[in-house]
Structure 1
Amino acid sequence: MDSTPTSDTTPDAPNEPAEETSASGIDHFDAAGFLKQVTRQAGVYQMYGGDGNILYVGKAKNLKNRLTSYFQSSSGLSPKTRALVSRIRNIQVTVTPTEAEALVLEQNLIKQQRPPYNILLRDDKSYPYIMFTSGDEFPRLAMHRGGKKKGVSYFGPFPNVGAVKSSLGFLQKTFRLRNCEDSIFNNRQRPCLQHQINRCTAPCVGLIKAEEYREDIRHAEMFLRGKSDELVRELADQMEAASINLEFEKAAVYRDQIAALKRVQAQNIVESGSADIDVIALHQQAGMVCVHLLYIRQGRILGSKSHFPKGQLLEVGGELLASFLAQFYLQGAERDYPRVTLLSHEVSDHEVISEAIQQQCGRQIAFQSDLRGQRNRWMQMALTAAKENLQAQLANKQNTLQRFEALQDALRLESMPERLECFDISHSHGELTVASCVVFDTNGPLKSDYRKFNIDGITGGDDYAAMEQALRRRYTRLQKGEGVMPDILLIDGGKGQLNRAREVLAELAVTDVLMIGVAKGTTRKAGFETLILPDGTSEMTLDGDSPALHLIQHIRDESHRFAITGHKQRRDKKRRTSRLEDIPGVGAKRRRELLRHFGGLQGIQKASIEDLAKVPLISKKIAEDIYTALNSE
């Protein structure tokens, strides 16, 4: 598709071409002057810094509206966007006929210029294929990557080498095709190990006729084209014919091939009419992103891959996924395009992305995010993989050490902190409160040192009192030597929580722990956190792409997860506990007799005092106590 910019014919500039509009300044950018003359047409904008280097490339349906949004009140912008705007010294605008063409041009510019504020993917240079050499009497089965040759049959592309190797292994086991190089094949004098383990019919030494080998090749090609049902029927007919002709060894080969094909079919659920699907799930945590893809072809999951997009201006949810889709489908090398792509988040620009893909690649892809049935199960698999792979990335020792070093720089500490603790509170409407204490060292989460505190004796919902009790219990033990003091104590909360923590540690004479509050910003979204420094009045905001902030977000999220888990366990334990245990005088033996007599707690609740008194070991007085306890609500 030709993405050459068109002339601006809007009323803003009726007689002048606006193929490219720019504005620049030495020390600052004159946003007001620039916005007065920018067009309202669709197009692409390129933002440059004072050194002339590209900062960001974007596209818009209405350039004037989109660019104006950057220079309105900064309170509505994320810290990362504010950082971008502060560096802008020049903007160039290129007009395109449609938004879809703007999207294609945007992706081409991103690929060429690699702007630091755009999300950037490491794109595969080429995708692997399965090939059958032609022109040979006995074609070879192999993996291929790179340029294609005439006269060779290619199947793919596959998402990764692992998917190719899995398919090659199945084809060799089932159809026993050769995979050796021609130099080896032409000089064999006896069958190799592949024949001995029943993975090759040894055409090199004439143990199979050329027409029979060609038939095996044809069957393998049918499988790769997704014609498994048709292939099974054909093999069944051949097995029956071989049995009638008393060729039992040949019939056994066909039988084994049918069994192998049916095992593959049983392992994969085929969706009629839409078996070629990409499943794309996004998970964000601690300032990082993982996008996980499942590749489903002919109803089989061929493979999967995780991407970790990088960029200083990472968006949230659907916006980030839209940027990923545009790069993945428009910038990549030759791809195996699906009919349908399933998305974990709704993408508002999906129609524009679909139109751009069709214009550039001649493919139509339908995007879906409202999923049910098998498609939803595939999505849950992808979401789980995205979450687990991102957590593994966060736990990487090298990444964690870099984040600790960045935290030292951000807080201007003389030495690098080696141990962090973070506290959080969880409860249900003030009941069954649990406080969590999570510990990180330079290797990541130190789960052996995690602690939970069941909080009792406070007013329900009083998080300050809950935090005070947890800190007092924790640091009283640490002062006695029952554990290791942290270098930094992070409190998930604002100035009030931090001040209460300072009071507790002062009472306990704990003086060598740096305390920092982690308060959510006005939008309460990740990346907007404010750090409250130890004096309780000074505040600090780190850039959204700061490794130090990512470390703080990671330990804060982990303490939140651990607190919720502890609260749920405490709540579930209460639900499992019999109400009889709270009644004075009703011990294990009497509870057993009551349950045996009435069959369960529900029967006991319905019983009268007289009925309760008939149970062995239950006196009239105890029966009255039981009746009152169970019917007092």
Structure 2
Amino acid sequence: MADPTTYRPAPGTIPTDPGVYKFRDEHGRVIYVGKAKNLRSRLTSYFADLASLHPRTRQMVTTAASVEWTVVGTEVEALQLEYNWIKEFDPRFNVRYRDDKTYPMLAVTLNEEYPRLFVYRGPRRKGVRYFGPYSHAWAIRETVDLLTRVFPARTCSAGVFKRHRQIDRPCLLGYIDKCAAPCIGRVSAAEHREIVEDFCDFLAGRTDQMIRRMERDMTAAAEELDFERAARLRDDIGAMRRAMEKQAVVLGDGTTADVVALAGDELEVSVQVFHVRDGRVRGQRGWVVERSDNGTDADVVGDFVTQFYGAQVDFDATVDVGEHRAHGESVPREVLVPELPENAAELEEFLSRLRGSRVRLRVPQRGDKKALFDTVVRNAAEALAQHKLKRAGDLTTRSAALTELQEALMLDQAPLRIECVDISHVQGTDVVASLVVFEDGLPRKSDYRHYSIRQAAGDGHSDDVASIAEVTRRRFLRHKADRDAPPPVSGEVGAEPETPSQPRKFAYPPNLFVVDGGAPQVHAAAAVLDELGVTDVAVIGLAKRLEEVWVPGEDDPMILPRSSQALFLLQRVRDEAHRFAITFHRSKRSKRMTESVLDGIPGLGKTRRTALVTHFGSVARLREASLEEIARVPGIGLTTARAVQTALGGGSAPATPEEATPAEAVSGAETPEKTEVSVVSGDAGRGVDD
């Protein structure tokens, strides 16, 4: 635990201008980003008596090792820079408004020659029009299914569209008139775009005029005795009205706004947002986050507005304001909030620049908007109550597990970050390792890593102890390199430090390093840490048979009670590492099997190769088999068996089985294959090259 007085800047050196500040830990990692109207006043508050600070703030300042700041011209610039840095550095102590899921939207690719309708999740792209967000993807598909009979726009992917254009035949939707089939030229590009634009106009709320026009066409068709067309128009009108009924009108004036409501206590706050477009509630989103410091509802509103809308529209101050309009459709003309933040004017300017037109922050006082706001408040209170019921047991359990681990292992602090290593192989082949990360008792899949083991034993069997040592060395060599790297070069007071690149997230060291195994594996990992000079990481091993906890230097294992929450947490970590290693090993083995040395053997087709591998279980066992054993496999004759043995042995096989000695049969066996040096990313798709 660091002492804040060791890095506290002299009060006279801190400017009184607006700016953004960053706290870094001892490894140079940014752990908190904040903005201030007066940097000196704000930063001085962090170095008050620790007992008077909010627990989260106290933990942040004792974790930090340095503080730096950047002076800007206005509070709006501070807002923009703060958001950009939060997005870039992902500080662990900043309150983050993140869902446990991404909300679906209906996307219309107006930037293509033949626009397409599809369900989309993710960041917004230029030239694509979005409707939503919706609470469920099925709601979008149901709406599209209803409306494509009226607006038969393309919904297929680029690959399907190209394939049907080549075969000059429409898909099923084209045959049942739910697609205008532009792929075969049934309509031109201009006609198809007109269909898509009518679809967008309908979803944008211009429905009454469209329905009246279709009713006139239906009446005219009936008068002309074209009853088939009149019936089709009647059905289309019914489909459009059913689609409209799914989105009830709540604001009769066609308001486009986001309604933000809060409900919370001293520790947590629930944030709910209703997205109202053209008077209809199109979507709902919610978060429950920790209340930072002793912040008021106004502070929560300010932080939420900055992060939520900044994340939807990547603001670039160097781009002309008008160019943000296409991306700024997610920012409504009006944001209704429970309380105006202190910097409401700056926030309005910030949102206006994101949207490309005027945006207002308002507190609803009366009428329909106040009634809708009260509904959102009730939803926020209900979400907070459900969150407490759901998380109470889980949060208590995880806290108890971490505390028990700290006490049992006599650690200085609770192991908030735990890493675990597991080795996977089949009789020494395709040896791989996994490293999983748990933070605060929960898996952090973005930091998971795969390792391909470089070394292998000469007898064809894996040495798990050596593999554990290799993975430990490779993981902490990365940590040691980052730790020993020269600190960022700081300029003059108020200047942004010159950093060639930000520290990698995986460079963050664990509090506890767990290996899957007993005393030999633990001692191997501990020896590597001693060799590298890493003294601030505790090492233990968890043996599978009796779930014994092994500690370096101890002759006997530690036995935790079966009902212990600490043991349950260690088992979860170990089992997750095992699952992750098995998954990678299977994928690597499958690839090796498809590229097996058996592929090049004359007379050995796919069926025979499968029969051989199924019979012997692996190429390694096949290589050790005698000529007679290979020939006994169904479908494999003596000639083919001799060819297989020759290919696997690396030389010519003897003429008859009797002439082949056991030593000669395996004399040409390959040495263990050198595995390419690589570290493959975990579930989140990121990789670290060590």
TM-score (norm 2): 0.48
Q: Which residue of 1 aligns with 2:223?
A: 244
- Paired residues for 1:115-514 under 5 Å: 115-122=91-98, 129-131=107-109, 135=113, 141-143=117-119, 154-156=128-130, 158-160=132-134, 162=137, 164-180=140-156, 181-183=160-162, 185-186=164-165, 187=167, 192=172, 199=178, 216-265=195-244, 267-269=247-249, 271=251, 275-284=255-264, 287-309=267-289, 315-333=295-313, 334=327, 336-359=330-353, 362-396=356-390, 400-407=393-400
- TM-fit CA distance, 1:308: 4.0
Change (3 A) 1:260 1:381: farther
Q: Which amino acid aligns with 1:245?
A: E
Change (3 A) 1:373 1:360: closer
Change (3 A) 1:322 1:284: same
1:48 pairs, out of 13, 16, 24, with 24
Change (3 A) 1:195 1:313: farther
For each residue in 1:138-195, what CA deviation from the matched residue of structure 2 results, as whole angstroms up to 9, or x when unmatched?
x654445689999xx8431532573643542332254344534325654586983786
- TM-fit CA distance, 1:393: 3.9
Q: Which amino acid aligns with 2:108?
A: I
- TM-fit CA distance, 1:280: 2.0
How far apart in 2 are the matches of 1:343 and 1:328?
14
- TM-fit CA distance, 1:338: 0.5
For each residue in 1:74-133, what CA deviation from the matched residue of structure 2 results, as whole angstroms up to 9, or x when unmatched?
565323223334444422121111111111111111111122221123486996512468
For each residue in 1:375-408, what CA deviation from the matched residue of structure 2 results, as whole angstroms up to 9, or x when unmatched?
23332343343344444444447x7335224146
TM-score (norm 1): 0.51
How far apart in 2 are the matches of 1:190 and 1:44?
57
Q: Which amino acid aligns with 1:158?
A: G
Q: State whether residues 29 and 90 of structure 1, in contact with CA within 8 Å, keep that contact through their aligned partners in structure 2.
A: no
How far apart in 1 are the matches of 2:354 and 2:194?
39
Q: Which amino acid aligns with 1:355?
A: E
Change (3 A) 1:57 1:234: same
Q: State whether residues 274 and 340 of structure 1, in contact with CA within 8 Å, keep that contact through their aligned partners in structure 2.
A: no
Task: Specify every segment of 5 or more residues in structure 2 that has no aligned partner in the other structure, as ranges.
Answer: 314-326, 409-564, 566-690
Change (3 A) 1:245 1:88: same
Q: Which amino acid aligns with 1:330?
A: G
Q: What percent of counterpart residues are identical?
A: 28
How far apart in 1 are the matches of 2:170 and 2:19?
67
How far apart in 2 are the matches of 1:68 and 1:414?
36
Q: State whether residues 40 and 62 of structure 1, in contact with CA within 8 Å, keep that contact through their aligned partners in structure 2.
A: yes
Change (3 A) 1:185 1:78: same
Change (3 A) 1:169 1:279: farther
For each residue in 1:223-270, what CA deviation from the matched residue of structure 2 results, as whole angstroms up to 9, or x when unmatched?
134321221222122122212211122222323333444455565326
- TM-fit CA distance, 1:42: 0.9
Q: Which residue of 2 aligns with 1:80?
A: 56
Q: Which amino acid aligns with 1:280?
A: V
Which deviates further from its counterpart, 219-228 or 123-132?
123-132
Change (3 A) 1:193 1:51: closer
Q: Which residue of 1 aligns with 2:82?
A: 106
- TM-fit CA distance, 1:199: 4.6
Which deviates further from its counterpart, 370-379 or 124-133?
124-133
1:90 pairs, out of 54, 57, 66, with 66
Change (3 A) 1:319 1:166: farther
How far apart in 1 are the matches of 2:154 and 2:8?
70
How far apart in 2 are the matches of 1:57 and 1:86?
15
Q: State whether residues 337 and 363 of structure 1, in contact with CA within 8 Å, keep that contact through their aligned partners in structure 2.
A: no
Q: Which residue of 2 aligns with 1:476?
A: none
Q: Which amino acid aligns with 1:337?
A: V
Change (3 A) 1:285 1:127: same
- Runs of 4 or more off by more than 6 Å in structure 1? 123-127, 145-150, 188-191, 201-215, 411-415
For each residue in 1:404-446, what CA deviation from the matched residue of structure 2 results, as whole angstroms up to 9, or x when unmatched?
241465599999xxxxxxxxxxxxxxxxxxxxxxxxxxxxxxx
Q: Which amino acid aligns with 1:296?
A: V
Change (3 A) 1:148 1:185: farther
Q: Which residue of 2 aligns with 1:625?
A: none
For each residue in 1:455-501, what CA deviation from the matched residue of structure 2 results, as whole angstroms up to 9, or x when unmatched?
xxxxxxxxxxxxxxxxxxxxxxxxxxxxxxxxxxxxxxxxxxxxxxx
- TM-fit CA distance, 1:314: 7.9
Change (3 A) 1:288 1:45: same
Q: State whether residues 113 and 189 of structure 2, in contact with CA within 8 Å, keep that contact through their aligned partners in structure 1.
A: no
How far apart in 1 are the matches of 2:15 and 2:404?
45
How far apart in 2 are the matches of 1:354 and 1:228?
31
Q: Which residue of 2 aligns with 1:57?
A: 33
Q: Which amino acid aligns with 1:324?
A: F
